């Protein structure tokens, strides 16, 4: 993989030319800032910026005023290669808080889809559909990640209905033990992997790998070339063994 070429493609297709990630949201370009605006339960924030040292502070202040007038907390999704080089310090000075950094990892979908990853014994995978499936997905995420996932309950049904998300449950018998989602970006070459949280007693048995392979096959069937993940420290080694390449880091800067 040509890292620079793929990163430039990612920046163009999923950031500068981004489409909204749900039917209730819209993407706006204001000067050199691309932002998504939606209802309170949706993701609100800055997707991309092309700022220089002379205009960065004014652009940051403009976004704080804009989302503040809407009564929205919002996120500035900063990537390590974004400019100016001190944009992180400027965001902190403007009242943002940095959340843990993650690694942007990308892989070609076809090799992972065809790698022969097996589902662990005693586990079956089931596509998510309907309110019951969404509730089970949110419930197992809450156990796996230790946090409420009401935003999934509110957003995922509409995303499934419009075909912009694929979601899957891993079950041991009839008990959900893990779940994952894949964002589809029509008109681009990328599908994004999210979730993959597994309950503690099933970790380390290959469930996460099976969910990645399942989504890779779904991506290939829909014509996508690349899989993209914002990887935590826990998932990064697994993804690297599957063939994902780290391209840069990304840090959410959140403004209340």
Question: How do residues 114-139 score in pLDDT, each as one tens digit?
Answer: 999 999 999 999 999 999 999 999 99
Q: What's the whole-number mean pLDDT along residues 148-163?
A: 90
CA distance 44 to 30: 15
Look at residue 22 in the predicted model and tell me its pLDDT. Answer: 86
> Locate tokens 């419930």: which residue?
139
pLDDT at 23 exceeding the cut of 90: no
Q: Residue 151 pLDDT more than 90? A: no
User: What's the whole-model pTM score?
Assistant: 0.94
Closest by CA to 178, choosing from 139, 151, 150, 149, is 139
Alpha-carbon distances of 22 from 41, 43, 122, rounded to whole Å: 11, 9, 35
Q: Where do the domains of the chain lie, and which CATH numbers do they carry?
A: 3-103 (no CATH), 107-248 (3.40.630.30)
Average pLDDT on 77-91 reads 98
Alpha helices by DSSP H, listed for the chain, are 3-10, 56-70, 87-93, 109-113, 130-145, 150-162, 207-221, 236-242
Average pLDDT over residues 61-68: 98
Q: What is the DSSP string of 180-229?
A: EEEEE-TTSSEEEEEEEEE-GGGTTSSHHHHHHHHHHHHHHHTT--EEEE
Retrieve residue 246's tokens. 């780290």
Instruction: Using DSSP, state whether 130 is helix, strand or coil.
Output: helix
């Amino acid at each position: 993989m040509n890292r620079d070429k793929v990163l430039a493609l990612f920046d163009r297709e999923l950031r500068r030319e981004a489409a909204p990630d749900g039917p209730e949201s819209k993407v706006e370009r204001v000067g050199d800032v691309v932002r998504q605006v939606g209802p309170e339960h949706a993701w609100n924030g800055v997707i991309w910026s092309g700022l220089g040292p002379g205009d960065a502070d004014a652009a940051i202040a403009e976004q704080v005023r804009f989302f503040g007038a809407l009564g929205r907390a919002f996120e500035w999704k900063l990537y390590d290669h974004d400019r100016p080089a001190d944009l992180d310090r400027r965001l902190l000075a403007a009242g943002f808080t940095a959340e843990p950094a993650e690694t942007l990892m990308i892989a070609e979908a076809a090799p992972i889809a065809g790698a022969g990853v097996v589902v662990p014994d005693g586990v079956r995978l089931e596509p998510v559909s309907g309110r019951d499936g969404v509730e089970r997905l949110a419930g197992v995420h809450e156990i796996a990640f230790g946090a409420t996932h009401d935003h999934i309950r509110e957003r995922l049904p509409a995303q499934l209905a419009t075909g912009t998300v694929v979601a899957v449950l891993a079950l041991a018998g009839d008990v959900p033990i893990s779940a994952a989602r894949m964002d589809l970006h029509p008109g681009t070459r990328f599908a994004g992997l999210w979730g993959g949280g597994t309950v503690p007693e099933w970790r380390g048995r290959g469930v996460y790998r099976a969910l990645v392979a399942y989504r890779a096959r779904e991506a290939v069937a829909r014509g996508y070339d690349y899989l993209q993940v914002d990887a935590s420290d826990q998932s990064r080694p697994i993804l690297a063994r599957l063939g994902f390449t780290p391209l840069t880091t990304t840090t959410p800067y959140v403004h209340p």
